[in-house]
Chains A and B, each alone.
Chain A
């Protein structure tokens, strides 16, 4: 964050922010921090509307908006950032016009794009704090992972029908301790189709107004350091019963991003992770066929994608390229002969094949069905 100490205000800005500055626990310094801050709001829909309006009004100096969509009639029941005249316009353009008329002393940066695994880190790294107002599971995991990999706090909220959730993820406190993130709370996404979206299940129009305002309040607290952010806690609101509850959430040692043994070091395919992409079958080869190839002296390359320790304890003479390194070592993989890839039982090698096919266009890869386990089982039974 740019140092707030040198931040100056014009007479007009001082008049505008007076009710903040006179709060004893807020004051000029918190207002300077707001003006120095760069906050990224992902999605300018139901949650994004109150978020953006309050962050702009509060004087956040630079607000980025990631939004690709256009304003639709069905948005206006809850997306109070837009008016009837905006229907058909790009949301990001309409949002900027509304926010600049609300506060001309701040900068609005538009990212007219869908957030993807390709662009997320570049965009997120340009900001100090991220607020997630997206509307689907793949993007929720994408925003979370990008924030954890880039070391940014993710102020999270989500809504459905009459229920809302708020938390602050990946927040590092003044003692340097980082709190839990979305994957600590939800290690795995729901299977496709089991949890409907707001487009399918509906949402009470005022709900994002309530929940998005709380999200804005948490963004302001994280930026200014005023108060105790909702880190390590999940807030839920049930508008039907008017019930609020707060639960404790903790970091988990098996979190694949920042647990004891991280396995995700870069952004992945989130549609695939959430089961929304059809899984392309990989070409398989049975152990019997492989043994036939070996006996017949056929030309092929054999690759093992397990970990070095597994290779040490038993191997079948393959070239060792652990799964996490297949992309960086893809040049070691032959393109002009057939390549058989194996792991312990066939799952990691199938992932390696998909990664190599999708990213580098390989078309000569075979997955050893049953992996080394099956290979050893068959060859040992033959030997005995």
Chain B
């Protein structure tokens, strides 16, 4: 099962879970299934057209999915998928 790391600002939507496991095999299906399990997460992950929000960076291992195959980037059982939102505090 691939692991999804939830950033601190979004943990309030995942019952404070920092890491979640998924059986899904692509980035987009993993995020979809996450937002089905935690409906409040959906608007933070997807825009109104159902695309992954552009201010979120999704990394598979240490690679940005924009440099791989976007939402279709495959996941395997060892993959660590990180959601990294833009933050601006200083």
Contact = CB atoms under 8 A, between A and B. Distances in A.
A134 B88 CA distance: 7
B86 A190 contact: yes
A241 interface: yes
Contacts of B7: 163, 238
Interface in B1-46: 5, 7-9, 18, 43-44
Interface in A154-189: 157-163, 165, 185-189
Contact of B90 (A159, A194, A243, A247): A159
Interface residues of A, number: 47
B83 to A, nearest CB: 11
A383 B4 CA distance: 59
A247 B7 CA distance: 14
B21 to A, nearest CB: 16
A306 interface: no
Given A159-B89, A252-B66, A201 B55 contact: no
A122 B35 CA distance: 46
B31 to A, nearest CB: 16
Interface in A185-200: 185-190, 194-198
A203 B88 CA distance: 12
B9 A250 contact: no
A186 B66 CA distance: 11
Contact of A201 (B9, B64, B67, B86): B9
Contact of B86 (A134, A195, A203, A247): A195
Contacts of B89: 46, 135, 158-160, 197-198, 201, 203
Contacts of A252: 66
Contacts of B66: 252
Interface residues of B, number: 25
Contact of A186 (B8, B55, B67, B90): B55
A56 interface: no
A159 B88 CA distance: 6
Contacts of B62: 245-248
Nearest to A162: B8
B87 A160 contact: yes
Contact of A135 (B8, B53, B90): B90
Interface string A283-295: 0000000000000
Given A238-B8, A240-B8, A240-B18, A247 B84 contact: yes
Contact of B55 (A190, A197, A236): A190
A158 B5 CA distance: 19
A236 B6 CA distance: 13
A238 B11 CA distance: 12
10 contacts: A132-B90, A134-B88, A158-B89, A160-B8, A161-B9, A195-B9, A201-B9, A243-B5, A248-B62, A249-B64
Interface of A: 43, 45-48, 132-137, 140, 157-163, 165, 185-190, 194-198, 201, 203, 208, 234, 236, 238, 240-241, 243, 245-250, 252
Given A247-B64, A248-B63, 16 more contacts: A43-B90, A46-B90, A157-B90, A159-B87, A160-B9, A165-B87, A187-B54, A197-B89, A201-B9, A203-B89, A234-B57, A236-B84, A238-B8, A240-B18, A241-B18, A246-B62
